[in-house]
Amino acid sequence: MRFFRALLPFLLCLPLAAGAQPTFDAPPERSTDGGFTLAWEADAPVVLEQASGPDHANARILYEGGDTSTVISGLPDGDYRFRLRAADADAEQWADQATVTVKHHSLARAFGFFAVGAVVFLVLIGAILRGRPRS
């Protein structure tokens, strides 16, 4: 019994310590349209940083505050690295990181769909402009 009493303060601290560390919530691995949503679990405000280099050398703060997700869009092809820490933690104490690869659809594929759409639209205009039932 005395053993459990002695252990109690540590046990009470455990969930707090675990909850204080923000973590990404199922970050995507790749994107074909240069956009995605990054979500995280955190009990307190966080700092989210983005970098396009492997060593986070050119990192910039993307968000600082109490939200638990952010929408990213308009990125060109490349590997993007994100890292997360509690806002009150030391500047280099990063709790979690994620990498997302952006690889856009090819232009050939994009214009292929564009051409199919254009054909369907032109046929539609033709069918309506005739304006009379076919006999």
93 lies in the site for other proteins, by CB under 8 A: no
In angstroms, rounded to a whole number, what is the distance separating the alpha carbons of residues 103 and 29?
A: 11
Q: Residue 78 phi/psi, 5° resolution?
A: 155, 175
In angstroms, rounded to a whole number, what is the distance separating the alpha carbons of residues 22 and 43?
A: 7
User: Taking CB under 8 A as the criterion, which residues in 24-53 touch other proteins?
Assistant: 32-35, 37, 45
What's the closest the beta carbon of residue 24 comes to other proteins, in angstroms? Answer: 14
Q: Which residue number, 9 or 131, has a Cβ lying nearer to other proteins? A: 131
Specify the residue for token string 């806002």.
87
What's the closest the beta carbon of residue 11 comes to other proteins, in angstroms? Answer: 31
Q: Which residue number, 8 or 118, has a Cβ lying nearer to other proteins? A: 118
SS3 128: helix
35 near 9, Cβ under 8 Å?
no
Q: Which residues bind other proteins (CB under 8 A)?
A: 32-35, 37, 45, 63-71, 73-76, 104-107, 109-111, 113-114, 116-121, 123-125, 127-128, 130-135
